[in-house]
Structure 1
Amino acid sequence: MTPMERFDVLIAGARCAGAAAAMLMARRGLRVLVVDRGGYGTDTLSTHALMRGGVMLLARWGVLPRLVEAGTPLIRRTTFHYGAEAVAVDIRPGDGVEALVAPRRTLLDGTLVDCAWEAGAEIRHHHTLTGLLRTDAGRVCGATVVDETGREHAIAAGLVVGADGTGSSVARLARAPVTVQAAHAAPVVYAYFPGLADTGTHWHYAEGASAGRIPTNAGRHCVFVSATPERFHAEMRGDHLDGMRRVLREVAPALAQELAACEPDAVPVAFAGRRGFLRQAAGPGWALIGDAGYFKDPITAHGITDALRDAAFLAEAAIEDSAAAYARFAARRDELSLPLFHVTDEIAGYGWTLEEAKALHMRLNAAMKREVAALATEAVS
């Protein structure tokens, strides 16, 4: 084992939550190390869409202009389709937000990593966190990390952060309990299609299924289909693209017709679904952000926004570095997350009528407004 290095903060995971937290902490003078199992700029499962709170933070941090300069389209309208009824909503400028965006994760995560480097954080790809170091009193005080050659490193840190996804090693090693568990998990399949007209985001709802189209980089739309587990497995048995087209013909017939002459860039990506959860957000010497701490069904496309939000809240706590600050971080996360979590779980259950779906979306909108109001006072930039 190599001699022990020392950092103020060690973050496992260099995707959006981990990279954003590293950037914010390093900008305020903390010595930050980020380790990530994967390589720079790799892709990941994602809904791509950023809600107002997430865009507001990226604009405040100076990250949004880079995404726009890289060709990320501005989304100025979103349309909800309840059967044959279409409800169009123009994106109201305000809170520092001109429009919404849905960047590819290769671009978003890579840009945040670049910004973290520029702020002074150190990023080590192809490094895996394998254990936690503890004081005699049991407080986490660092971690063991294995590099790409198999060499083990002991790294001391005042705070170890898990931003390493739903299967978080930090959460497992810290024995972070699950405090809330969702009841539903809706499978989804998506693919990237070229050549569609950019009319903003579209969200389609029908009995037992939903679908959507999200404009993203390089003139592509991310087109997705979700359904109850029973229907999904029946429709997607065999060729996923054929299954997507079958569901779209019922849920979004105009979109299905538009796609009839289009082929996706690659085979569709399928996600079997996973029930959402909240884990304890922090403990002595450790904290969790992103999907490591809080995961909900992707049907409401709010995961990236939550990840950026919690990165900002944790950075504020790490700068103060007190038990009270980490307790506030955990309380704020739960206060804002639980309304989003519960309404998302209801939507993912597909037990609603179309009229009930509208009411659920009104609840979702109210929860997002509370989140934006909380982020408007966020100090870390």
Structure 2
Amino acid sequence: MSASTYDTIVVGARVAGATTALLLARLGLRVLVLDRGRYGGDTVSTHALMRGGVWQLQRLGVLDDVAAAGTPPVRRVHFHYPDDTTRVTLKPTPGVDALYAPRRTLLDRIIVDRATAAGADVRFGMTVTALSRDHTGRIIGVVASDRLGRRLRASGPLTIGADGIGSIVARAVGAPLTWAASGAGSAFLYGYWDHLPAEGYEWYYSPGVSAGLIPTNDGQTTVFVGTTPEKMKLARAGGTWPGFRTLAEAVSPDLRARLADGQPPRRLRGFTGVTGYLRQSWGPGWALAGDAGSFEDPLSTHGITDALRDASLLSEAILRIHAGGATEAEALSAYQRTRDALALPLLTTVDSISSYQWTVAELQRSLLDASSAMSEQFESTQDHAEHSSLARVLPASASDSAHRVAP
């Protein structure tokens, strides 16, 4: 078994984990990132970035890479209801000229590449099997193995769980829920259509069902249908494709007709409803970021934006610890308080939307509330960033290695 020592160990190399690693490596910290998947692999995602997420990518200096890869800019959002459509044109703001919905095979790889260039040790195909503890119970590292069974023991003062809903870190430390949504969450079927133009983000709503069109890379459009887990199970009883068509017809006959004009994928992907939550996000020697600590129903299309938010807040907390400006408990508890204050207004609003227990008029009010919550979270995140010491490692351009700063 090989053994190594790092300043920080990150479990998970998706958006939350890779972004945290990128920021910490730019600070000059020795960072190990372990992910059980493969480099450039896909994952379940809505893909859609909201304004706060685009702004965070701009701060990181990676938005240009996303755009250069052919990710289509989104400047309009359409809300389709049974009897009318509302169109919203995005107003450009500093750092956010448009919205984007990159494939995760692209976005995650771009951030991982930047983290590696900044000095992070990123290893794929590594499954964390246990967390190491000292005699007090403090987390002091991880034990992992690769696909050939070779084991790695890594130690460090902080282990970050950025490993999603089923986080092994959260389970191992027994991180309790501090808030949970009231419903079971939405269930989805989705796929990638060719030759199906979308006028920006297009959201469809009808009592008990939802759908969306999201333009992404390679000229494709992500199409999803969503409903409650119970209704999804009934819809799929006769097969996945018949269930998809039934739900598409229920939300909008116009959508069903539009889909017939495009080229459908060979297969559809599914996501079973998961109740939204907040978890305790830190303890002695550990912290959580992204879906490991905070999960919002995908109907919000805010998950990637949340992951980028957490990575920035957590990296700032770790910087304070290493700079001697705060103890671990002080810095990480402040991270959780800020995360919760930013996340809860949107979480509670999305909880009501994902219940599907609404009339169209009630839904429209909830969507306005969600928009306000997103705007307030974005503005608060910007205000927080203005006072953040991370500004010195957030280049608008230039190589990562040129901006590494020892704490």
Q: Same fold (TM over 0.5)?
A: yes
- Deviation, 1:85, is 1.3
For 1:134 and 1:247, how far apart are their aligned partners in 2?
Answer: 49
- Deviation, 1:277, is 1.5
- Deviation, 1:276, is 1.5
1:38 aligned partner = 37
- Deviation, 1:275, is 1.2
2:382 aligned partner = 376
* 1:36 counterpart letter in structure 2: D
For 1:225 and 1:248, how far apart are their aligned partners in 2?
Answer: 6
Residues 1:293 and 2:299 aligned together: no
SS for the counterpart of 2:88 is strand
For 1:44 and 1:202, how far apart are their aligned partners in 2?
Answer: 22
Alignment of 1:150-229 (within 5 A): 150-184=149-183, 185-229=185-229
Residues 1:238 and 2:238 aligned together: yes
- Deviation, 1:186, is 1.5
Residues 1:365 and 2:371 aligned together: yes
SS for the counterpart of 1:260 is helix
SS for the counterpart of 2:165 is coil
Alignment of 1:92-171 (within 5 A): 92-171=91-170
1:333 aligned partner = 339
Does the CA contact (< 8 Å) of 2:209 and 2:250 recur in 1? no
SS for the counterpart of 2:261 is coil
* 2:368 counterpart letter in structure 1: M
Alignment of 1:247-266 (within 5 A): 247-266=247-266
1:306 aligned partner = 306
Aligned length: 380
* 2:373 counterpart letter in structure 1: A
Cα RMSD (Å):
1.2
2:405 aligned partner = none
* 2:286 counterpart letter in structure 1: W
TM-score, length-normalised on structure 1? 0.97
Q: Deviations over 1:92-151 (max 9, x none)?
A: 101410000000011011111111101110101011111112222222111112123212
Matched-pair identity in %: 45
- Deviation, 1:357, is 0.5
- Deviation, 1:244, is 1.9
- Deviation, 1:189, is 0.5
2:398 aligned partner = none
Does the CA contact (< 8 Å) of 1:95 and 1:376 recur in 2? no
For 1:161 and 1:247, how far apart are their aligned partners in 2?
Answer: 39
* 1:328 counterpart letter in structure 2: A
TM-score, length-normalised on structure 2? 0.91
For 2:382 and 2:121, how far apart are their aligned partners in 1?
Answer: 29
Q: Deviations over 1:146-194 (max 9, x none)?
A: 1232122221111100011111111111111111122222111001101
SS for the counterpart of 1:265 is coil
- Deviation, 1:76, is 0.3
Alignment of 1:36-115 (within 5 A): 36-115=35-114
